Chains A and B, each alone.
Chain A
Amino acid sequence: MSAWLTLEHFFMVAGAFVCALGLRIAFDAQHPRRWGSAAFWLLLGGCILTGKLVPPELIGYAVLLMTVLAATKQVEPPEFGHGDTAELARRAGELKNKLLWPVLLVPAVAVIGGFSLAKIRVADAPLAITGQASQISLGLGCVLALGLAFLLTRARPVAAVDEGGRLLQLISWTLILPQMLAALGGIFAKAGVGEEVAKIVAALLPVQHPLVAVVAYCGGMALFTIMMGNAFAAFPVLTLGVGIPFIVQMHGGNPALMGAIGMLSGYCGTLLTPMAANFNLVPVRLLELRGDMTVIRAQVPFAAAIWIFNVVVMYLCVYRF
């Protein structure tokens, strides 16, 4: 029994769109990096579409090829300009608040779907499986919003490819950085990098002291997340290497409390690292910010204030409850 909607359906839509963008670029003689960009987006579209069908080796080589194209500056957006502001204001006056409907439809569908998709059953199968309901609802919201946007603007489908493609080209190769980093994290895990780091932390610091154990665990979570870009990858490593032996077993700390606050300390690292590309680098491109570190710089005070709070709460509570 499988669910009616799976992420695979949405990969089809996304892959088709990215392929269409690649084709549009291939036929655009004005494009400054016509063939490199076209190849990049066609390869990416192909990987998204056929991910589960072709052998992983092929995807791996395609990914390496995309990396080479990006590193040799073959993937660049053309000059888009900002459009005629007066003309845009005039168009905004035509549709007025209707322009907002599709954008508001997305969170509405995401929230309602997130609560209900996994619970609704049609012909003995749920609409979505529990673990995917949130992502699928967001995807469903996007697809429905696009339909509504077509209705309201009477634009042709090719306009959606061009306008969406404009934003994708602004994001450029940064778009696949999150997936690349996830792959790196996976390789790190298989190579045992984490165990090595935990050993060093435990060897360097006097973790016999309860406060030092808390600081080492929370600090290790943040630091390791900064290096790996992902708190989920840091969590098992630091919890096995530092948390469980020194906080729980040596000093009798509460594992649930330690785990919860340890993970949140890892997120402080996520706020600080370019390795967390989808949170810190993709928005730089998407919001047309200058300087890769601008988002991270705005987040430094957040990370510091939250991390210190976590250490204080953990130290005060983990050995008492």
Chain B
Amino acid sequence: MTRLLGILIIGVGFALRWNALLVVALAGITTGLLAGFTFSEIVRMTGQFFVDNRALTLPVILMVPVVGLLERHGLQERVAHLMRRAKAATAGRVLWFYQFVRGLTSMFGISMGNHASMVRPLVVPMAEAAAAKDGQLNDATSQRIRAHAAASENAGNFFADDIFVAVGALLLIKGFFDSVGMPVELDDIKLWSAPTAVWVIAVGWWRYRVLDARLKKARAEQPAAGEGEASP
């Protein structure tokens, strides 16, 4: 039971809003010590796992110079300008479309992007411009759209893994069952991953409709601010 102390530290630390890195380090060291590892063994493991998982941060680090540079040359303003011409676009429809395309490519085991490469430079400016077409975009609205944009990336990314071309999660599932002597067909795993993938598209449609309805309501309640002022 004492081995679960690490999980408790995580829960308490996150709840009290301590620095997350510190909480994670404390939880790791405590768990390791309780399991009988020495401190230097724990440090070695931490270093090893840290290096083994460098690929987690790689896409963000490689993408930010591109995005930062283009933003300084007006990328977001240009995307907003283009979106103002698309009459049928709403923030919700933009996000639903992105989630759909993201999921579709993910079915082939391909990651077309992430929060750094797609959401910040393209999806957020598109959705915000679509929402700002008939009026000002206030800060609360912008925050709400951005949170949903991050969600559209995650929903598109997670639930349509490898259905046509298995490279990640489904191979892991197959490998696991093979390793415990319970062979399963990869095609069966693919088949039974499909219903949820379709359902997630429907859930997205519902969520983004709710978002659009809320934005509309917020606009109706708040009269348009002074004209000619640039939107943030």
Chain A positions near chain B (C-beta within 8 angstroms): 7, 10-11, 13-14, 17-18, 47-48, 51-52, 55-64, 66-67, 70-71, 82-83, 85-86, 88-97, 99-100, 102-103, 106-107, 110-111, 114-115, 130-131, 133-135, 137-139, 141-143, 145-146, 149-150, 152-153, 155, 159-168, 171, 173-188, 190-193, 196-197, 227, 231-232, 235-236, 239-240, 244, 248, 254-257, 259-261, 263-264, 267, 270-271, 274-275, 277-284, 286-290, 292, 294-295, 297-299, 301-302, 305-306, 309-310, 313, 317
The answer, yes or no, to whether B217 is at the interface (CB within 8 Å) is no
Interface size class of B (residues with CB under 8 A): 35 or more
The A-contacting residues of B in range 126-162, CB under 8 angstroms, are: 143-144, 146-151, 153-155, 157-159
Q: Please determine whether B51 and A47 come into contact, CB atoms closer than 8 angstroms.
A: yes
For B48, list chain A residues within 8 Å (CB).
56, 59-60, 186
Complex Cα distance A70/B154, Å?
27
**A-contacting residues, B94-120, CB 8 Å:** 105, 108-120
Complex: A64 Cα to B57 Cα, angstroms: 18
Q: Once bound together, how far apart are the Cα atoms of A222 and B68, in whole Å?
A: 36
- For A271, what are the chain B residues with a Cβ–Cβ distance below 8 Å? 151, 154-155, 158
A150 to B170, CA, bound (A): 39
Chain B residue contacts of A160, Cβ below 8 A? 65-66, 68-69
Contact of A115 among B71, B75, B108, B149 (CB under 8 A): B108
Chain A CB within 8 A of B224 CB: no
Q: At the interface, yes or no: B92 with Cβ under 8 Å from chain A? A: no
Q: Confirm or deny: B10 has a beta carbon within 8 angstroms of a beta carbon on chain A.
A: yes
Beta-carbon contact of A166 and B188 below 8 Å: no
A141 to chain B minimum Cβ distance, whole angstroms, is: 8
Please determine whether B24 and A177 come into contact, CB atoms closer than 8 angstroms.
yes
The answer to whether A95 and B158 have CB atoms under 8 Å apart is no
| Chain B residues, CB < 8 A from A275 | 10, 14
Chain B residue nearest to A20 (CB atoms) is B65
B218 CB-CB contact with A under 8 Å = no
- In the assembled complex, the Cα of A59 lies from the Cα of B210 at a distance in Å of 47
* B91 at interface, CB cutoff 8 A: no
In Å, the complex CA distance between A143 and B148 comes to 28
Residues of A within 8 A of B109 (CB): 114, 134
Given that A168-B61, A255-B184, A294-B143 are contacting pairs, would A191 and B34 also be in contact in the complex, using a CB cutoff of 8 Å? yes
Q: Is the CB of B192 within 8 A of A257?
A: yes
* Contact yes or no, A142 B196, CB < 8 A: no
Whether B192 pairs with A256 at a CB distance below 8 angstroms is yes
Within residues 63 to 86 of chain B, which ones have a CB less than 8 A from any CB in chain A? 63-79, 81-82
Tell whether, in the assembled complex, residue B73 and residue A91 are in contact, meaning their CB atoms are under 8 Å apart. Answer: yes
Q: A63-B47, A95-B73, A131-B167 are in contact. Are A10 and B173 (CB under 8 A)?
A: no
User: 7 A-B Cβ contacts within 8 A?
Assistant: A14-B57, A86-B230, A92-B81, A97-B78, A103-B70, A180-B21, A260-B189
Shortest Cβ distance from A102 into B: residue: B66
Is A146's CB under 8 angstroms from B73's CB?
Answer: no
| B78: A residues at CB distance < 8 A | 92, 95-97, 99-100
A160–B37 Cα gap in the complex (Å)? 43
Partner of B62 from the list A14, A89, A290 (CB cut-off 8 Å) is A14
B62 A142 Cβ-Cβ under 8 A? yes
> Nearest residue in B to A45 (C-beta to C-beta)?
B61
Residue among B22, B35, B61, B143 making CB contact with A191, cutoff 8 Å: B35
Is the Cβ of B73 less than 8 Å from the Cβ of A187?
Answer: no
Complex interface: chain A residues within 8 A of B75 (CB): 92, 99-100, 103
Within 8 A of A (CB), among B155-208: 155, 157-159, 167-170, 172-173, 176-177, 180, 182, 184-185, 188-193, 195-196, 199-200, 203-204, 206-207
